[in-house]
Structure 1
Amino acid sequence: MPELIRRPFAFLRHGQSTSNLNRRIAGQRDVPLTAQGEREAHQASLLLGDVAWPLIVASPLERARRTAELATGRAPHCLIGGLKERHWGEHEEHPIPETMPYLLSPEGGESWADFVTRIVATLNALLVEHETPLIVGHSGLIRVIRYLDSGSPEGPRTDNAIPQWVAPYGTRGWEIRPLRESDVAHLPRLSKTT
């Protein structure tokens, strides 16, 4: 199993997308936010918007890029292809099943092992260079962190546009919980211009 550098980061899943609304698997399809998704991203700005993040990165898929802009009030420093959601192959745009086959390899898609390797390599490249980045992406990223923590990607779907704190604990564990103001108190704040 690949190892993730043991440094904390803030994570924001994109706001509600058209695929979320229709309960369909988006995967790497480039679907937009709904009006509710835009409102959710604006709501996240209450916690994220005045932080002078050392790095704001997002998946290049529109739903993540737009969420980053709305939640921080500015464009991400960069868009990173390695943060894209898992490619679900033939399952993309199909209804979300009651039990997702996370560990199986979808026809024409990305295997779980390849997805984990991609996400960990992408996160490591960011975490080795930057302390406490804000990463805006997709629910699959949190499933990878769960897998690294417990050996299973199973668990509740990550809420749309609710800032999360992802931090190492103990010698191998990972904590995933809602972001608190105290988590980013060490970061400078943006000055308000009038």
Structure 2
Amino acid sequence: MTSSPSGRAYLIRHGQTPWTVTGQHTSVTDIPLTAVGEEEAKAIGVALAHVTFELVLVSPRQRTQRTAELAGLTQQAIIEPNLVEWDYGGFEGLTTAEIVQARGDGWDLWIDGVVAGVTPGEHAADVYARARTVLTEVKNVVRHGGNVALVAHGHFLRSLGAAWVDLPVIDGRKLALYTGTVSILGYEHGHPVILGWNIPATGHSSGDDSVNGNAHP
């Protein structure tokens, strides 16, 4: 049996914002957490209080930085520009229903991508490339037994989860990810695996998942 590194990567999606409530696509728009989002961030801190992190990377947006602060992770945090959310371009601030109505047909972010707006926008391959760049450093730490925290955004972290297990980026759409949750990546028998996904920091999930390091996907 192949031995596996003991380190893990903890993916933390920021807490609730006004636009996650309304379903608006939020990338470059720098909006704060709601009161609920701040409570979610505090719960993450409590849930991960037992974990020692060798590396903490945080997206530069205020919603992620505030989440890291309330979770008690800012002392060692490094701002990582590659952790920003998928650039939605001309779809920034719109809901999926509004995008579909404007296009006049169906729309799938992972396949159809976005149109240029104030920012040029990104396609799935662009986001996947950023995720793989981040994982180069993350895997190096995890392989040497260290734990890493990544505080970032929904669509980006879903892309990163797919990249971790060498799945095509489109498979990120199968990984639902809610605000204020923790997902855990690691190794089993020498292979990269998803140990837990979309776990509420409060531990109040529909199964037995928790963020104690023994969670199941």
TM-score category (smaller protein): 0.7 to 0.9
Name the structure 1 match of 2:156. 141
Name the structure 2 match of 1:180. 211
Name the structure 2 match of 1:132. 147
Say yes or no: does 1:165 pair with 2:184. yes
- Cα contact 1:27–1:85 (8 A) shared by 2: yes
1:78 partner SS: strand
Separation in 2 of the partners of 1:92 and 1:170? 41
1:154 pairs, out of 168, 173, 179, with 173
Q: Between Structure 1 and Structure 2, whose CA radius of gyration is higher? A: 2
Relative to 1, partners in 2 of residues 1:171 and 1:106: Cα closer, same or farther, differing over 3 Å? farther
Separation in 2 of the partners of 1:110 and 1:165? 26
What is the letter of the counterpart of residue 181 of structure 1? N
Deviates most, 31-40 or 117-126: 117-126
Higher helix residue share: 2
2:29 partner SS: coil
Relative to 1, partners in 2 of residues 1:172 and 1:92: Cα closer, same or farther, differing over 3 Å? farther
What is the letter of the counterpart of residue 135 of structure 1? L
Instruction: Show structure 2 runs of 5+ residues with no match.
Output: 1-6, 101-106, 200-209
Say yes or no: does 1:101 pair with 2:101. no
* C-alpha distance after superposition, 1:50-90 (max 9, x if no partner): 53321222101111111011112644521110000010101
- Cα contact 2:54–2:141 (8 A) shared by 1: no
- Cα contact 1:68–1:76 (8 A) shared by 2: no
Instruction: Show structure 1 runs of 5+ residues with no match.
Output: 1-6, 184-194
Relative to 1, partners in 2 of residues 1:27 and 1:48: Cα closer, same or farther, differing over 3 Å? same
Name the structure 2 match of 1:3. none
Identity value in percent: 21
Give the CA deviation at 1:171.
6.8
- Cα contact 1:58–1:76 (8 A) shared by 2: no
Name the structure 1 match of 2:44. 44
Relative to 1, partners in 2 of residues 1:123 and 1:29: Cα closer, same or farther, differing over 3 Å? farther
TM-score by length of 2: 0.71
Deviates most, 140-149 or 112-121: 140-149
Separation in 1 of the partners of 2:86 and 2:21? 19
What is the letter of the counterpart of residue 89 of structure 2? G
Relative to 1, partners in 2 of residues 1:32 and 1:113: Cα closer, same or farther, differing over 3 Å? same
Separation in 2 of the partners of 1:126 and 1:165? 13
- Cα contact 1:11–1:164 (8 A) shared by 2: yes
1:163 partner SS: strand
1:36 partner SS: helix
RMSD: 2.6
Give the CA deviation at 1:101.
1.9
Kindly tell me the number of residue pairs found equivalent between the two proteins: 178
Give the CA deviation at 1:119.
1.3
Separation in 2 of the partners of 1:147 and 1:173? 11
What is the letter of the counterpart of residue 172 of structure 2? P
